[in-house]
Amino acid sequence: MLTADGPKVIEYNCRFGDPETQVVLPLMQSDLVAAMNATIDGTLAETEVTFADGAAACVVLASGGYPEAYQKGTPIFGINEDGNVEGACVYHAGTARQGEQLVTAGGRVLGVTATGDTLAEAVASAYAATEKISFEGMHKRRDIGQRALAVK
């Protein structure tokens, strides 16, 4: 959270389905499995974990009605088109398959993450990738990264 005294961490979720993780992992240069094993072994402090310079941004595509009641089984289109946006990737959260068709299966459907040399580039790429994907009732926040960009 941005405060008058600068950025403050309120919580950090490290579940792989959370946007907070989806935005960090693309910048990780170290071997994730090695870092996890070091955590298990209690040797993480001695393990080098590195991240790339730059920035990342994640925009969640949610089902209409989320976080309240939302529809499931809605076809998702354009999911493979994110590859047309440099540095973008899509994390599945609330998706399922009905035959060959990808459909919605949860409130947070997809996390569209992009990296860039700057936060402005990462945000622009993430939003560009979201424009390639569609499903009935899809909505997203339009303010991701804007407060941080305004501070500069």
Its pTM stands at 0.82
Q: What angle do CA 87, 93, 97 make, to 5 degrees?
A: 105
Closest by Cα among 71, 72, 65, 33 to 49: 33
Question: What domain range includes position 140?
Answer: 2-151
Domain of 90: which CATH number?
3.90.600.10
Q: What is the average per-residue pLDDT within 67-82?
A: 86
Tokens (6 digits) for 140? 């997203």
Closest C-alpha among 115, 73, 117 to residue 95: 73
**Residue type at 108 in one-letter notation:** R
pLDDT at 43: 96
Can you tell me the distance from the alpha carbon of 116 to that of 89, in angstroms, rounded to the nearest whole number? 12
What is the Cα 94 distance to its own chain's centre?
13
Tally the domains of the chain.
1
pLDDT in tens, 24-65: 889 999 999 999 999 999 999 999 999 999 999 999 999 988
More confident residue, 126 or 2: 126
137's CB contacts (< 8 A; 6+ apart) are 63, 64, 65, 70, 71, 74
H helices within 25-118, ranges in order?
A: 32-41
Instruction: Supply the pLDDT for residue 1.
Output: 81
Q: Is the pLDDT of residue 83 over 60?
A: no
